[in-house]
Amino acid sequence: MGITDFFRPVDAQFDGGESEGAQISPSPQTLEAVPVPDASGSDPNPSPPRDAREAWRPEREAREAFGTLGGAPPSDVSRRRARGAAHDLQYDEWAQPKRGRNFVLREFREKTRGAGAPMAGCVVHFPAGLTPHVPQKITMSRILTALTKSQNALIESPTGTGKSLALLCSALAWQETKRAEVKVANERVAERNAAKTLAFEEACARRRHARAKEANEKDSIGRSRGAPASDDGAGARADAALARELDEALAEHNEKEKQKAFSLDTFSNDENEPRGARARDEKVSFTLGRPDGLVVPKLADPDDDVSVHVIKNEPHLSDSVPEREPFASEFAPIAPPALERPQSVPKIYLCSRTHSQLHQLMRELKRTPYAPRYAVLGSRKQYCPIGKNDEECAELTKNKNRGETACGWYNKKDAVVEELRRARVWDMEDLANVAKSHLGCQYYAMRALHKNAELILCPYNYVFDENIRAALEIDLTGAAVIIDEGHNVEDVCRDGASMEISVTELEDTASQLGSVAKFLDDADVAARLMRPLKDWVNRSLAESSSHASKSSKSSFKRFNGFSGPVEAAHGEALWKGDDVATAIARALAPRTLAGSREKKSGGARGDASAAVALARSIVADASRVTAFDGALVREISQNGNTFGLNAITTCHRVCAALLAALDAPAEFAACVSADLSRAGETDQKTSSTSFGAGDREKEKTEKNAAGLALWCLRPAVSFRPVAAAARCVVVTSGTLSPMGSLEGELGVSFPVKVEAPHVVPSRQIHVEASDVLGDFTAKAQDADGTPRALGQFLLRYLSRNVIPGGVLVFLPKYSLIRRVIERWRDDGTLAAIEKHKTVVWEEPGAQTLTPTLETFRRSIDSGDKKGGVFLAVYRGKVSEGLDFKDANARAVFCVGIPFPAVGDVKVRLKKEYNSSAYARSERMLPGGDWYAHQAFRAYNQALGRCVRHLHDYAAIFLVDARFARHADADRNKSMVSKWMRHLVRVFASPRESVGTLEEFFRGLEADPPGGGGAGGEPAGG
C-alpha cells in the first residue's frame, strides 16, 4: 500500500483483512473527512485534527484496528489492498514521515576525463591522478585482446596489483567503443530499413492505384452496358478500405513494438532518458514487416472491393494462403521488406566469488571515469529487508502481475529503481540507503535494473548454474563474461552441474506434483518423472541396507580404503561412468531396461541404450514443462497461486542434473546414501529400509539425511555452455597456474594467457619457512602438544613486539582453531599473547564475521596501536574474500598445507577420475597432482591477503617442515606464488629469525616505501 492510498476513504481501504474472521463494525472514525494530498505528494495538513488517520498510528495494533473499523463488504481489490496495509503496518511504514521525491543520492553528472591511453583499438581512461603500472597495463591489454577478438582468456595477476581496477577500466573502455560502433551501424541499418519500407509503401500505393483504375474501368464498361453507375465508384471504396487496413495494421504492429522497445535503445545518445521511452519515440517504423506480423496483399477475390489482407501473428506465410486460384498476374502479392534488426551493445557480466568481493568491485567501479547502466544480482536472502525466504516472498508477491501486492516493499521498488537510474553511479551502501529511504525492495529493484543493464555484477555461480540463470533471466548470448577471483571456478562449475536431493524432498515434490496434476495436465508429466525416481531411491536404499547387513563391515572397509578404486561404503550404492546412465534408466525405464537384458541373455544383441534414450525423453519432457517461463508456472502464478511452484522448481533442478548426467555419464558419479553428508564413510548408519516403522521423529531425520546425489567430476560440463553462448570468457585471479590443467578441466581453449608480474620490490617482503611444528599433517594437527607449540612460536615474535599492526594466522580447519583457543585459555598462552595483541578467531558461518573484523580493526586503529592476531581457516571468508592492506596485516603465518579432506568421497572420486586414461587424454592433471594443486591454490590465496599495493610490506611465514629441511621442500616451494617463491629463507636458529625480522621492520619504518606507506596505488584483486 502506498502513502497516497492511505488517504483514501477508510471504508475503501479496510473493508477486508488478512485476518480471516475479522469482524468489521461501523466506527464513527470512518465518517470523518480524510484530506487528500496535493499533487506533489506532500502532506496538505501536517497535523490533522481528529480524523481517521489518528486511528492508524503505528503504535496501534494492526489487527485490533481491523477489528474496530467498519466498512462495506470486502471486494477483491480492497481485500488485496488491506493485506498490503497489514503488511505495511508490520514494518512500521507509517511511522516514517511522508515524503515526496526525496532523493538520497546526487543526480549523475558526467565525470571529467583525461585523454586516456589508446590500447588494442580502444581508449582506456583511468581514475584521475592514477597512472596504471606494468601489471595493470599487461592485464588491460590482454583483456582488450580477448574482448575485441572474442577469445577466451586466462589472466593471472598477483593480488594487490590493482587487477580489479584494470579489468573494470579496460572492459568498460571496450564497451564504450562498441557502443559507438553499434550506434553508427544502427544508423545505417535505419537508413536501409527506411529505404526498404519506402519502396514497399510506394509499391502498395501503385497497387492501390492500379486496383482503383481497374474498378473504374469495370464501372464504365457496366455503364456502357446499361448497368446503373455507383455513386462513389468501387475504385474509391477499394482505395479507402485498403488505406484504412494498412493504417490499422501499421498502428497495431507499431504498438506491439513500443511495448517491446527492444534493442532500439541503442539509437539514443541520451543516457539520462529512460530507455523504454527513447525506444518508443524513435524508429517505430522499423516494425513493419517483422516476422510476427505481416502486411501482404490478399489473393485476387472477385467478390471483394479491396485487394489487401492483413495476416497477423502467423508464423508460416504459406500456411495462411487460401487455396484459391493462382495469383492474378496483374495483382501478384507484394512481399513485405525483410528489415534488419538493429544491433545491441554487448553486455558484460562481471562475476566474483562472494558478495563482499562484489562490493569491492563496486567501490572500484565508482572510482572509474565510466558510468555504465549496471545492476548487482543477489539472492533474496541477501537483499530482502524483512528477511523473507523464497516461498514467503512468492506468497506475498503472488499478485505482482495484477497490481499491488501484499508486500509494501515490493510496491515501492520503482522508487528505488528511479533513484538509482537518476544517480547512475552507486555502490552497495548507497543501494541500502536508497532502499531504506523509499522503503522499496532491493531484490526486485535489481531485477528491474538488470533488464536494461550493460554491466551486470553477480557471484559466478549465478552464471554457471543453469537453474539460477533461468530463474534470474540471465541471457549470456553475445555477452562478455569476466570472472574475477576465478581460482575457484573449477569447484563452482562442478557444483553447478551437481545435485543432491533428500528422500523427504523427493517425496514432497512427487506428492505436490501429483496434487497439481489433478488440475493441470502438464504437472502429470513432471510427476511421472519424480514418482519412479523416488521409488527407485527408496528401493536402492533398502537393497544396499540389506546387503550391508548381510556383509561384514570389514569387507566394505577394504573397498572403501583411501587407495584403490572408490567403492560404495557400508549401506550405500555408487555408480560411475556409463553405469550412471544405466542406473537412471533403471529408475525411469525399468521395463525397457529389463527387456534389453533379456534379449542379451537370450543371445540377441541388446544393450541399455533404448532404456537410456527413453529415460532421457522422460526427463526432457519433465524439464520442458517445469521451465521457469513455461506454461505450467504461468498457469499457476497468473491465478495468484503459489502451491506447487516449489515442487516445479525442484523438479526442474533434478531434470537439469539428470540430463547432464545422461548426456555425459563419464563425467558423473551417482550415489544413493542413507546419509549424504557422510557419503563414503564406512561407519555411517544404514537406513531403516523403507522408513516404514519406528518413531516419526527418527524417521523424519533419516529421510532428511538419506537421498540421491549426482556429482559432476568435470567443470567443463557447466563451463562449456557458458563459453558457447558468450562472446568470450575471461578468467582472472592471483592463482590460476597451472593454466594447461585449468584449460583441460574447463574443456575449452583459452588463446589468451598471461601471468603478470608483481609490483612490490623484494625489500618489502620477508618470507621465511619454519619447521618448528614439523610436518604439519593431519596427524600432527591432532597431536596434543600442537596448540602449545604454536602459541610459543607466535610468542617468539609477539613478546618482543617485533611485528607491528595485525597478524593473520591460517590453520587448516575450524576444529583446530577451537582446540587451540581452548588450550591457550587453559595454559595461559592466550593471556600472554593478549598482553601484546588482541586475539580474535574465525567461526563457521557469516554471522560473527563482521563483529570479529571490527574488533580486529579497532585493535589496529586504537591509540596504542597494539594490533591483533586473527586466527582463520584456509578457504574461508578471511583467507579468500577480504583485503588486509597496510597495518591490517604486517605478518601472515600459514600453518600446514590445506590439502582437501582425503576421506571426502567426492575428492576421492575426482582423483580417480583424473587418473583415468580419458582424463589424461583431455589434458587434465593426474589425480595426485590435481589434489596438490587444490591445496596450493588455497594456500596462495591465504598468502596473498597481505602486501596489497605497491607501497605495502609484510612478513610471510610458511610454517611446515615440508617447506624447510625436507626432501620435498623444493617441489613444495615451487608451488607457492611465483612472486615470492624465490624469497623463501630458512634460518638456523630462532634468534636469527627474530633478529632478521626486527631488522626488516626497522628498515621499512625508517625508510617507508613511497615515502608514506599507507594508501599508494590502487589495491584490489
- For ligand SF4, give the closer residue by CB, 242 or 407: 407
Burial class for 130, CB neighbours closer than 10 Å (0-12, 13-18, 19+): middle
Binding to ligand SF4 by residue 445, rule CB under 6 A?
Answer: no
Binding to ligand SF4 by residue 443, rule CB under 6 A?
Answer: yes
Taking a C-beta distance cutoff of 8 angstroms, is the pair 496, 716 a contact?
A: no
* CB of 88 vs ligand SF4, minimal distance in Å: 11
Give 642's DSSP letter: -
* CB of 921 vs ligand SF4, minimal distance in Å: 48
- For ligand SF4, give the closer residue by CB, 395 or 681: 395
Q: Which of 65-93 are b and which e, b meaning 16 or more Cβ less than 10 Å from the residue's Cβ? A: bbebbbbeebeeebebbbbbbbbbbebeb
* CB of 439 vs ligand SF4, minimal distance in Å: 9
- For ligand SF4, give the closer residue by CB, 406 or 754: 406
Using the rule CB under 6 A, which residue among 190, 215, 250, 384 binds ligand SF4? Answer: 384
Q: Which of 801-838 are b and which e, b meaning 16 or more Cβ less than 10 Å from the residue's Cβ? A: ebbbbbbbbbbbbbebbebbbebbeeeebbebbeebbb
Binding to ligand SF4 by residue 472, rule CB under 6 A?
Answer: no
What are the CA-CA distances from residue 581 to residues 426, 475, 536, 1014 (Å)?
49, 30, 14, 58
Using the rule CB under 6 A, which residue among 172, 407, 611, 798 binds ligand SF4? Answer: 407
* CB of 440 vs ligand SF4, minimal distance in Å: 8
Binding to ligand SF4 by residue 393, rule CB under 6 A?
Answer: yes
* CB of 411 vs ligand SF4, minimal distance in Å: 9
Binding to ligand SF4 by residue 439, rule CB under 6 A?
Answer: no
Dihedral sign for Cα 957, 962, 966, 968, please: negative
* CB of 471 vs ligand SF4, minimal distance in Å: 14
Other C-beta atoms lying within 10 Å of the C-beta of residue 369: 17
Taking a C-beta distance cutoff of 8 angstroms, is the pair 587, 533 a contact?
A: yes
Using the rule CB under 6 A, which residue among 321, 386, 725, 832 binds ligand SF4? Answer: 386
Stretch 221-280 residues interacting with ligand SF4 (CB under 6 A): none
Binding to ligand SF4 by residue 410, rule CB under 6 A?
Answer: yes
* CB of 413 vs ligand SF4, minimal distance in Å: 7
641's CB contacts (< 8 A; 6+ apart) are 398
- For ligand SF4, give the closer residue by CB, 168 or 441: 441
Taking a C-beta distance cutoff of 8 angstroms, is the pair 742, 732 a contact?
A: no
Helix, strand, or coil (residue 669): strand
Helix, strand, or coil (residue 770): strand
Taking a C-beta distance cutoff of 8 angstroms, is the pair 892, 946 a contact?
A: yes
812's CB contacts (< 8 A; 6+ apart) are 776, 781, 873, 874, 895, 896, 897, 898
- For ligand SF4, give the closer residue by CB, 208 or 380: 380
Binding to ligand SF4 by residue 640, rule CB under 6 A?
Answer: no
* CB of 879 vs ligand SF4, minimal distance in Å: 31
Report d(CA 876, CA 785) in Å as an integer: 25
Helix, strand, or coil (residue 404): coil
* CB of 642 vs ligand SF4, minimal distance in Å: 12
683's CB contacts (< 8 A; 6+ apart) are 553, 570
Binding to ligand SF4 by residue 411, rule CB under 6 A?
Answer: no
- For ligand SF4, give the closer residue by CB, 393 or 872: 393
Pick the closest to residue 374 from 413, 406, 352, 348 (CA basis).
348
- For ligand SF4, give the closer residue by CB, 281 or 395: 395
679's torsion region: left (phi>0), alpha (psi -120 to 50) or beta? beta
**Looking at 249-257, 380-388, 479-487, 997-1005, which segment touches ligand SF4 (CB under 6 A)?**
380-388
Report d(CA 292, CA 311) in Å as an integer: 9
In the chain, the N- to C-terminal Cα span, in Å, equals: 44
Burial class for 929, CB neighbours closer than 10 Å (0-12, 13-18, 19+): middle
Pick the closest to residue 197 from 310, 292, 287, 297 (CA basis).
287
**Looking at 404-412, 651-659, 778-786, 836-844, which segment touches ligand SF4 (CB under 6 A)?**
404-412
Using the rule CB under 6 A, which residue among 67, 385, 577, 590 binds ligand SF4? Answer: 385
3-state SS, one letter per residue, for 338-396: CCCCCCCCCCEEEEECCHHHHHHHHHHHHHCCCCCCEEECCCHHHHCCCCCCHHHHHHH
* CB of 353 vs ligand SF4, minimal distance in Å: 23
**Looking at 172-180, 370-378, 381-389, 978-986, which segment touches ligand SF4 (CB under 6 A)?**
381-389
Using the rule CB under 6 A, which residue among 352, 397, 879, 940 binds ligand SF4? Answer: 397
**Looking at 308-316, 352-360, 423-431, 438-446, which segment touches ligand SF4 (CB under 6 A)?**
438-446
Using the rule CB under 6 A, which residue among 56, 66, 286, 409 binds ligand SF4? Answer: 409
Using the rule CB under 6 A, which residue among 444, 668, 810, 856 binds ligand SF4? Answer: 444
Contact string (CB under 6 A) for ligand SF4, positions 337-376, x = contact: ----------------------------------------
- For ligand SF4, give the closer residue by CB, 388 or 616: 388
Using the rule CB under 6 A, which residue among 167, 420, 425, 441 binds ligand SF4? Answer: 441
Report d(CA 412, CA 416) in Å as an integer: 7
* CB of 87 vs ligand SF4, minimal distance in Å: 8
- For ligand SF4, give the closer residue by CB, 443 or 957: 443
**Looking at 393-401, 562-570, 601-609, 864-872, which segment touches ligand SF4 (CB under 6 A)?**
393-401
533's CB contacts (< 8 A; 6+ apart) are 506, 510, 587, 588, 654, 708
Pick the closest to residue 355 from 469, 441, 432, 449 (CA basis).
432
* CB of 922 vs ligand SF4, minimal distance in Å: 42
Binding to ligand SF4 by residue 542, rule CB under 6 A?
Answer: no
- For ligand SF4, give the closer residue by CB, 384 or 611: 384
Taking a C-beta distance cutoff of 8 angstroms, is the pair 237, 211 a contact?
A: no
What are the CA-CA distances from residue 866 to residues 698, 766, 802, 994 (Å)?
52, 21, 12, 19
Report d(CA 337, CA 288) in Å as an integer: 8
Phi, psi of 985 (to 5 degrees): -125, 155
* CB of 410 vs ligand SF4, minimal distance in Å: 4
Binding to ligand SF4 by residue 388, rule CB under 6 A?
Answer: yes
Binding to ligand SF4 by residue 380, rule CB under 6 A?
Answer: yes
**Looking at 326-334, 378-386, 825-833, 834-842, which segment touches ligand SF4 (CB under 6 A)?**
378-386
Determine the size of the site formed for ligand SF4 (CB under 6 A): 14
- For ligand SF4, give the closer residue by CB, 386 or 520: 386
- For ligand SF4, give the closer residue by CB, 87 or 163: 87
Binding site for ligand SF4 (CB under 6 A): 380, 384-386, 388, 393, 396-397, 407, 409-410, 441, 443-444
